[in-house]
A = this chain, B = another copy of it.
């Protein structure tokens, strides 16, 4: 939807950053993807003319810093990114055999107790966390671990 992209552009302006087509596309693509995407995957999905790869990287960095996007670390060579929709707190489930990534929304995710422990023990102010699960997906059953 173009509306998604327009809304995305609006968010940029509000935050004091010029809205460009590339930025709108990136945000739209992330908003529409159920799974976190790598910079390469994001760029591939942008219709021509595609922005340069460096532009994609620069914008992802910016978007993370202003809170529009989050990065997800999944033990891969490349980082992945997802839209920072506040509502849906989701976790990733990664198959060690085939690499498939699924998304899971827990009934409740209460790590605040642990976060408080950390604050107490290390004086560390926790702002967010990252929780991923690994194993074998339904299709791969109990097959051998790949790595």
Contacts and interface: CB of A to CB of B under 8 A. Distances in A.
Contacts of A131: 111, 129-132
Interface in A107-147: 107, 109, 111, 114-115, 117-118, 121-138, 141-142, 145-147
Nearest to A60: B147
A106 B117 contact: yes
Interface residues of A, number: 46
Nearest to A73: B73
A58 interface: no
Contact of A122 (B76, B93, B117): B93
Copy number in this complex? 2
B109 A138 contact: no
A55 interface: no
A131 to B, nearest CB: 5
Interface string A87-118: 00001010110000010101101010011011
A133 to B, nearest CB: 5
Given A73-B76, A122-B137, A128-B133, 14 more contacts: A65-B147, A71-B75, A73-B75, A102-B122, A104-B122, A114-B133, A122-B138, A125-B137, A125-B142, A127-B134, A128-B134, A129-B131, A129-B132, A129-B133
